[in-house]
Chains A and B, each alone.
Chain A
Amino acid sequence: MSEWKFKLDWLALPLLGLGVVVVIWVVSSYTWAKQLPSPEKTWEVSKLYVVEPFTKRGEQDQGILRFAWYSVILVAKGYSLALLLGVPLGFLLGSSKLFTKTFDPIFQILRPVSPLAWLPLGLVLFQKSEPAALFTIAICAMWPTVLNTAAGVRSIPQDYLNVARVLKLSRTRTLFSVLLPAALPNMFTGFRLSLGMAWLVIVAVEMLTGAAGVGGFLWQEYNSNIFEHIILCIVTIGLIGFALDRLMNLVETNLHRVLT
């Protein structure tokens, strides 16, 4: 009984959900949205890109996972930069009232700015598309890290700080032995949200800069009127984003176990 329930929850119901979406897709492609490729057509046209996911046939014509890999690399770089900026900023925001009063208002204003708005500024600043892309990813993706790190630092119990003071731990020791481990669970929530954000940003950035990657491929295929590949790209982007989130979730859960 419980096993049956388990299968229902984890297999049958999600498959049902998928089925509903596919039905809507099929019906749409035959009725009101004639431009929308049907599932069979999409598979037919995309098959080569999926069964040979890493083949490079030309600059514009590569397996879907090869394109995705380029995107992942770019995200990894931009995301690292976001963490490198976001963690210290979060620590300052969480530990200094003066810093908070000075910078919090401007952060609140910059935070909701779309990646599409940052990219042109990045291009102006750095002249080349890759540094502009990294700049955009970093500045858009760092906010969850900044805010969650600050929240983590603010919520460190006074008891832990008292221990550090009574033992007269040095500043670096206090940071690495007390503050960082105490704030880490919160920080990691920020890291996970930031990664999601970075993955959102990458597609927009690639579309605008024409960089090789899954987003660039999507835009190029749109311009070549191969709409099947747009769907292929959307599915790929979604699956990889999902996988990244699961991965971070796994790390986060294990971290909680180690820290508490």
Chain B
Amino acid sequence: MYPRNFTMAFLEIKDVCKGYGPTGRRSEVLHNINLEIEQGEFVAIVGYSGAGKTTLISMLAGLIATDPGTIRLEGNLIREPGHDRGVVFQNYSLLPWKSVFGNIYLAVDQVFQNWTKAKKIEHTERYIDLVNLTPARDKKPSELSGGMRQRVALARALAIEPHILLMDEPLSALDALTRATLQDEIVRVWEREKKTVVLITNDVDEGILLADRIIPLSHGPKATLGPSIEVDLARPRSRKAINHDPRFQRIRNQVIGYLLGSGKKPRPKPLAAPVPNLEPMGVAV
């Protein structure tokens, strides 16, 4: 059916646009998005707040439809949410009346319906352990810190054993130190689980630290993806070391250069100032 299937990327976004509003006064948020991601790749999409990053990830998750354009995961057209995709939302999206265990178990129970109860419980506990939350197993989200909540959300997304992990600014609500810890945790989990990851972020440094490839999203309306920039820094990457690495500086300048040049509107956003050195890294510029 698809003759190109052999060469088709793991995730393929093709000519995707998305607009809101009634015909005639419709404003296009995303315009001609094209992206191919290989299996096991960690890709970061970096852009301004309000550029349409959440719209993009919602389309990947299948929560909203593309206007024109197609998104294929492993050759299958994405039309609706599916268990092949795990999603981590910006604001945790945990159910406050369920414990850490309960939140993750809800997902496990839904996805692995034909497992025995014991197996589902064991599986849930394994993922609680993966994000180091076993001591907080029976706590409610309100009793957890922001970082812990986002770890629960991460565990919930991973526990359904998705083929791809979609993260929508997962760390943007956290303070700098917690953010740094969580970044390390995401890398650790990614290396262990060997998942394909799409991370949406507004923090260039975070993208460079975590991803194999970083793609800037120009600011809206009609936001579109810029050129892919390989992050050819060896792993494990140390925050401290890469700060002085000339390749890091080069990638950073490339991304920021694109973001600054992509629109005429002078918006002094956090990304706007290309500060040469910063330490600690986690602090958003």
- Residues 153-191 of A at the B interface (beta carbon under 8 Å): 159-160, 162-163, 165-170, 173, 177-178, 181-182
Contact (Cβ within 8 A) A166 B61: yes
Nearest neighbor of A185 in chain B, beta-carbon distance: B97
A166 touching B87 in the complex, CB below 8 Å, given contacts A181-B95, A259-B96, A260-B96: yes
Contacts of B85 in A (CB 8 A): 166
Contacts of A177 in B (CB 8 A): 95, 106
Contact (Cβ within 8 A) A166 B63: yes
CA distance A165 to B87 in the complex (A): 11
A181 CB to nearest chain B CB (Å) = 5
Q: Mark B115-153, 1 if CB is under 8 A from A, else 0.
A: 000000000000000000000000010100000000000
Check: A258 CB closer than 8 A to any chain B CB.
yes
Chain A: interface residue total (CB-CB under 8 A):
18
B144 CB to nearest chain A CB (Å) = 13
Nearest neighbor of B113 in chain A, beta-carbon distance: A170
CA distance A160 to B110 in the complex (A): 15
Contact (Cβ within 8 A) B107 A178: no
Contact (Cβ within 8 A) A162 B89: yes
Contact (Cβ within 8 A) B81 A163: no
A169 touching B97 in the complex, CB below 8 Å, given contacts A162-B63, A162-B89: no
Contact of A168 among B83, B95, B97, B142 (CB under 8 A): B83
CA distance A260 to B107 in the complex (A): 20
Contact (Cβ within 8 A) A168 B81: yes
Contact (Cβ within 8 A) A165 B81: yes
Nearest neighbor of A184 in chain B, beta-carbon distance: B97
Contacts of B256 in A (CB 8 A): none
Check: B91 CB closer than 8 A to any chain A CB.
yes
Check: B231 CB closer than 8 A to any chain A CB.
no
Looking at chain A's contact residues, the main secondary structure is helix
- Residues 204-260 of A at the B interface (beta carbon under 8 Å): 258-260
Contact (Cβ within 8 A) A162 B106: no
Contact of A167 among B89, B140, B160 (CB under 8 A): B160
CA distance A160 to B107 in the complex (A): 13
B79 CB to nearest chain A CB (Å) = 13
Contacts of A170 in B (CB 8 A): 110
Which of A163, A165, A177, A260 has most B Cβ within 10 Å?
A163
CA distance A178 to B97 in the complex (A): 9
Contacts of A173 in B (CB 8 A): 110
Contact (Cβ within 8 A) A165 B97: no
Contact (Cβ within 8 A) B97 A181: yes
Contact (Cβ within 8 A) B63 A165: yes
A184 CB to nearest chain B CB (Å) = 8
B93 CB to nearest chain A CB (Å) = 4
A260 touching B142 in the complex, CB below 8 Å, given contacts A165-B63, A166-B81, A167-B110: yes
CA distance A163 to B97 in the complex (A): 14
Nearest neighbor of B157 in chain A, beta-carbon distance: A166
Contact (Cβ within 8 A) B61 A160: no
CA distance A177 to B92 in the complex (A): 17
Contacts of B96 in A (CB 8 A): 259-260
CA distance A166 to B168 in the complex (A): 14
Contact (Cβ within 8 A) B97 A167: no
Check: B261 CB closer than 8 A to any chain A CB.
no
CA distance A182 to B93 in the complex (A): 12
CA distance A165 to B107 in the complex (A): 11
Which 6 pairs between the two chains have the least Cβ-Cβ distance? Answer: A159-B93, A259-B97, A181-B97, A166-B81, A166-B87, A167-B110
Of the A-B pairs whose beta carbons lie under 8 Å apart in the complex, a sample of 7, sorted by A's number, is A159-B92, A165-B63, A165-B81, A168-B83, A169-B110, A258-B97, A260-B96
Apart from A162-B89, A165-B81, A168-B83: 20 A-B pairs, beta carbons within 8 A: A159-B92, A162-B63, A162-B87, A162-B93, A163-B89, A163-B93, A165-B63, A166-B61, A166-B81, A167-B81, A167-B83, A167-B106, A167-B111, A167-B160, A168-B82, A169-B106, A182-B97, A259-B96, A260-B140, A260-B142
A interface list, Cβ under 8 A from B:
159-160, 162-163, 165-170, 173, 177-178, 181-182, 258-260
